[in-house]
Structure 1
Amino acid sequence: MTALRAWLQASRLPSQSYIALPLLLGQFVASRLMGRPLDLGTLLCVQLFGLLDQLFIVYANDWADQETDRRNQTATLFSGGSRVLVEGRLSPRAIGTAALVCAGGLLAVSTGLAVTRGVPLLVPLAMGALALLWAYSYPPLRLSYRGGGEFLQMVGVSGILPLYGYLAQGGDLGRFPWWLIACLLPTHLACAIATALPDEPSDRESRKLTLPARVGGERAAWCIVALNALTLAMAPLGLEAVGLRVDPWLLLPALAALGVVLTRPAPPGSRRMVVRVAAAITATVAMVSLPLVGLAFR
């Protein structure tokens, strides 16, 4: 049981929402635009891909960020790694092996889908997802330490994942609703910045150039609000691209984003910081969920 609890802690399953929702959104968009029902078997395989991708990300990041995580005294549920290596609950070798197994698994699932669904592009998309994590955490690029890591997260979650789900369900690449993706890019960038807020002290000490480490937490919080405001401004175009209209539910992500700057002061390690990050995540998750729910129930 102790080992099982350690692996559950390492897996950080609450972060699955960042992966699962964009994949689901892409699949429901394909169903709506192509005028046919979702293929259940494909849906399950796509979400399995997402689970393996999420596990690969958290395991591989834990392995890559061991030293920085040891310096981190302000970790939260949303940031600072799973802590299993810092606490000695699992070995680096075990975590590294698990990451490689998940990488192989998601490539196998993608290959199977590519063959059975006749969509060869799924394999390079899966390889792109792996490459983004490598560029984020590992040499020679290691962009999370050089600046730009948040942009890699944005591209992966807002771009690769919805497109993967869309193509797997038989979507026509020529009809892909790029305006919806453009609408969601800013809020996903905001979310990536937000999850780095609690780690600002250890990131600065480790010379990890996240936006909060470069400009400070309060300035980063205003950037998060501005990015969410940009998403809301683009929402009419994004929703129209999939046959939806703006409705009052857009107040939910707007109010959540506003909560990021209303929760102040929010120094790393404080309860206010947890609330601030949760508000930013809520804004992004709500913004992805609204078109997903609209497509699912129409």
Structure 2
Amino acid sequence: MTKAGALLRDWIQASRLPSQSYIALPLLLGQLIAVRSHGGALEYGTLAWVQLFGFFDQLFIVYANDWADQETDRRNQTATVFSGGSRVLVEGRISPRALGWAAVACAGALLAVSVGLAVAQNSPWLVPLALAALGLLWAYSYSPLRLSYRGGGELLQMVGVAGVLPLYGYLAQGGSPGAFPWPLAVSLLPTHLACSIATALPDEPSDRESLKRTVPVRLGGEGAVWTIAALNLLTLALAPLGWASVGLTAGWALLVPAAATFAVLCLRPAPPGSWLIQVRVAACITATLAVVGLPLLGLAVR
């Protein structure tokens, strides 16, 4: 492999592109809610710019988190494709300085996109929401709050993915701020909290050593798994009301996240470092993406 090819491979690994789905789906959901609520047509130019915002937001998150967690990641011997950072800093394949500046560049890009969208769509709230997205990551990983270490980092992830992102997409496509379907957003909060807990399961040993107060560290692996299951069940209980707020009926499709949640409980023992814990985390992610994707699909075909 050429030097340029190796560098490209390293940056692709640092970008952790599969996690784009966490950002892209809530943004798409918010946009379709707006279009269906006012009966207009989806503005594809706006769609592209909103998803570009999401692209830069996800890159900012993974680059900035890698930079902030590099010492903890060096202790991590149980990293998976879902957790433990991208490993490019740990393995010395990209310098901390380069990754830090890439995070800054992505933050600037998502702000620039948001300012442009705010002007083009006459939606000034997009800029504060973009700043909120940056602020949530800062509070998660950086001083003085650094809540991912002090406890509460999972709540910040939940607010960002289930709250800020759908609202951003909704406002960008011309949705009325006073008509946002909060019952749907509320129904998604528990499962996104569950997902943020799940992705910390494989990292429990190194997080404990680093005094990082994640839910798996505080409750233990199995205690965290029961918490995940309870949160997903809460989302399933709230789903009918949430779907009704956007004119949809929750039906048999909810068996998909229900089955994924059941699988999470059945996949045991799954200690950090085992292949089974990766399957368990994948099942957790599937449950969360399903309860976002199902109403998204329902709105798309309605």
Instruction: Work out the CA distance in 2 between the residues paired with 1:86 and 1:261.
Output: 32
Instruction: Work out the CA distance in 1 between the residues paired with 2:145 and 2:179.
Output: 34
Superposed, 1:99-110 pairs within 5 Å as 99-110=103-114
Q: 1:246 Cα deviation (Å)?
A: 1.4
Partner residue in 1 for 2:214: 210
1:24 corresponds to 2:28: yes
Instruction: Work out the CA distance in 2 between the residues paired with 1:259 and 1:92.
Output: 38
1:283 corresponds to 2:287: yes
Q: Deviations over 1:217-241 (max 9, x none)?
A: 0010000000000000001100000
Instruction: Work out the CA distance in 1 between the residues paired with 2:262 and 2:198.
Output: 13
1:3 corresponds to 2:3: no
Instruction: Work out the CA distance in 1 between the residues paired with 2:182 and 2:282.
Output: 28
Q: 1:200 Cα deviation (Å)?
A: 0.2
Partner residue in 2 for 1:37: 41
Instruction: Work out the CA distance in 2 between the residues paired with 1:260 and 1:201.
Output: 20
Partner residue in 2 for 1:200: 204
| 2:78 pairs with one of 74, 78, 81 | 74
Matched AA of 1:203: D
1:260 corresponds to 2:264: yes
Instruction: Work out the CA distance in 1 between the residues paired with 2:258 and 2:185.
Output: 18
Partner residue in 2 for 1:173: 177
Matched AA of 1:169: Q
Instruction: Work out the CA distance in 1 between the residues paired with 2:220 and 2:38.
Output: 46
Partner residue in 2 for 1:93: 97
Q: Deviations over 1:56-115 (max 9, x none)?
A: 000000000000000000000000000000000000000000000000000000000000
| 2:274 pairs with one of 247, 266, 270 | 270
Partner residue in 2 for 1:49: 53
Q: How many residues align?
A: 298
| 1:227 pairs with one of 231, 241, 246 | 231
Partner residue in 2 for 1:112: 116
Matched AA of 2:204: E
Instruction: Work out the CA distance in 2 between the residues paired with 1:137 and 1:242.
Output: 34
Instruction: Work out the CA distance in 2 between the residues paired with 1:41 and 1:241.
Output: 27
| TM-score, normalisation: structure 1 | 1.00
Instruction: Work out the CA distance in 2 between the residues paired with 1:266 and 1:217.
Output: 9
| TM-score, normalisation: structure 2 | 0.98
SS of 2:40's partner is: coil
Instruction: Work out the CA distance in 1 between the residues paired with 2:39 and 2:176.
Output: 11
Instruction: Work out the CA distance in 1 between the residues paired with 2:208 and 2:180.
Output: 40
Where does the alignment leave 5 or more consecutive residues of structure 1 unmatched?
A: none
Q: Deviations over 1:173-217 (max 9, x none)?
A: 111000000000000000000000000000000000000011100
Partner residue in 1 for 2:145: 141
SS of 2:79's partner is: coil
Matched AA of 2:111: L
SS of 1:226's partner is: helix
Instruction: Work out the CA distance in 2 between the residues paired with 1:272 and 1:184.
Output: 26
Instruction: Work out the CA distance in 1 between the residues paired with 2:250 and 2:168.
Output: 26
SS of 2:124's partner is: coil
Where does the alignment leave 5 or more consecutive residues of structure 2 unmatched?
A: none
